[in-house]
Chain A
Amino acid sequence: MSAAAVEVTDLVVRYGSTAAVDGLTLRAERGSVLALLGPNGAGKTTAVETCEGFRRADAGSVRVLGLDPVADSAALRARIGVMPQGGGAYPGVRAGEMLALVAACAANPLDPAWLIDVLGLSGSTRTPYKRLSGGQQQRLSLACALVGRPELVFLDEPTAGMDPQARRLVWDLVAALRGDGVSVLLTTHLMDEAEALADHVVIVDKGRVVAEGTPGELTAERPDAQRLRFRAKSGMDTALLLAALPEGCRVSEPTTGGYLVTGVVDPQVVSTVTAWCAQQGVLAEELNVGRRSLEDVFLELTGRELRS
């Protein structure tokens, strides 16, 4: 049995006296996609850069493809692909030249011209890097991460600054990588991205794991905490509705005109809610019974206050 793609145990990385990563443990299996999800400043980039060998662990251990990222750096770098946050290229280099340079470091690279075309950069192969848009720079950076046919890729905020079409392309690429047996570790603060791409999601905050599991596990409801949402005019008196609902249900209006019923939501509860709306003479819009979104889980775990 070969080693895990990434195995991080009790990792601590400090900047001066602050611990950016503070006892992080995670394991990414071969051939799967792991999303490191967390707010800004959660320690995601620091953790990834430690896995890439750019930073040393102050405590704990990191094994990537069974190797020590610092001691075995040369052997490891030949096997991984890296998309650093914010990209990286010579300011004056043309997109095609940069990808050709990175491709020249690999034994069996993908065809750079094909990859440039796939990433929609064929109109910009002669444009200097500093004149590319943020999204184009990100796409070039992604191409650089993939061109060497790595067995493991680290993508740090791969869709930051991208338009919706480019984001969709990145999602397709990640799915294709996974299908071909490439292991992927990506960071994101976008819930839909983690939900759409990842086999395993690790939610980090303040340098620690606060929850992990498959997207399904993380968003699963307790049977007595299901949610029914609907929109109607704001400020309705919900006391009568509450009285008509079975014991244990709660009714609230968390956003203006957005109502939330929690509890055991069965067909009878849905019928009670719509009957009450009919009595009030209002139309219940966007009525849905659903599981929590990853966003709900994320906000519950990491709080609602703004992060710097």
Chain B
Amino acid sequence: MTAFPPGTFSPAPGRAGVGHMLAVHARTEARLTLRNGEQVLLTLLIPLALLVGLSLLDIIAMPDPRVDQVTPRVFALAVMSSAFTGQAIALGFDRRYGVLKRLAATALPRWLLVAGRVAAALAVVAVQVVVLGLVAFALGWSPSAGGLLWAVALVVLGTLTFGALGVLLGGALKAEVVLALANVIWFVLLLAGGIVLRADALPSGMAAVVRVLPSGALTEGLSQALIDGSAPAWWVWVSLLAWGGLGAFAATRTTKLT
């Protein structure tokens, strides 16, 4: 069909409602993440394997019940995997494929371009936490009820903090470099950043450093909330806010569309 009735393309420009744009953008981003096999491996399967493995096997010394110790660490890992590593890699390749420029050329406001990604990241993290939480319950997890709201607040703040750092990494470098760096940083922070081994299990000099890393701070904060049922220490909030603030500040200066 190549004949177009007159009036087919008569101009009727205009911007859609903000809520509609945000919803469709966030839904598209979240779907793409959950459909991507490598992303699911990173954000769900590895955390699940660690949750089950560390809970059932006596690999690392920790007090019983082991699942109560493991679950907060796995939540922290899930947040880091998804908001930092997954976000950085996706952004690196999205830029390569020109989607940021494509969307920046539509009526979508620039702030919404960020807001849609943030909303999608929060939605994916929610899916992760629900799945991991259900498996943890099946393994006998009994979180401290008093800390649940604190934990939710920390997961949201942690997603924003790691998300800002992920955008900082994924927004400036070539896709392949982003891929390599994001995975290396993920691995180093997992092993030596206070997640698998909590800060107080590390030598004292290193422990002080690890506590101020976003990975260490988030793990400590989630452990305090979910194991002890207490409000996370002030330095947990300060560390996450500082990393997130600095990351976001730097990212607004370094992020490129292509």
Contacts and interface: CB of A to CB of B under 8 A. Distances in A.
A93 B32 contact: yes
Interface string B3-19: 11011111111111000
A105 B7 CA distance: 21
A261 interface: no
Contacts of A78: 13-15, 107
Interface of A: 52, 54, 74, 77-80, 82, 84, 86-93, 97, 100-102, 104-110, 117-118, 129-130, 141, 144, 146, 148-151, 168-169, 172-173, 176-177, 179-182
B141 interface: no
Contacts of B28: 90, 93, 97, 100-101
Nearest to B11: A151
Given A146-B9, A176-B9, A118 B1 contact: yes
B102 interface: yes
B10 A92 contact: no
A102 B25 CA distance: 9
Contact of B4 (A87, A101, A148, A172): A172
Given A91-B97, A92-B35, A93-B32, A149 B10 contact: yes
Contacts of B13: 78-80, 106-108, 148-151
Interface of B: 1-4, 6-16, 20-21, 24-25, 28, 31-32, 35-36, 93-94, 96-109, 257
Q: Which of A89, A117, A146 has the largest count of B CB atoms less than 10 A from its CB?
A: A89
Given A90-B99, A104-B21, A149 B9 contact: yes
Nearest to B35: A92
12 contacts: A74-B107, A77-B106, A88-B103, A89-B102, A90-B28, A91-B97, A104-B16, A106-B14, A148-B13, A148-B14, A180-B6, A180-B7
B15 A106 contact: yes
Contact of B9 (A88, A105, A168, A177): A177
Contacts of B103: 88, 101-102, 105
A90 B39 CA distance: 14
A141 B103 CA distance: 11
Contacts of A54: 101, 104-105, 257
B28 to A, nearest CB: 5
Nearest to A97: B28
Contact of A77 (B2, B10, B24, B107): B107
Contacts of B10: 149, 180-181
Contact of B105 (A52, A89, A108): A52
Nearest to A100: B24
A107 B14 contact: yes
Contacts of B104: 54
Nearest to A176: B4
Nearest to B9: A180
B108 to A, nearest CB: 5
B4 to A, nearest CB: 4
A149 B107 CA distance: 12
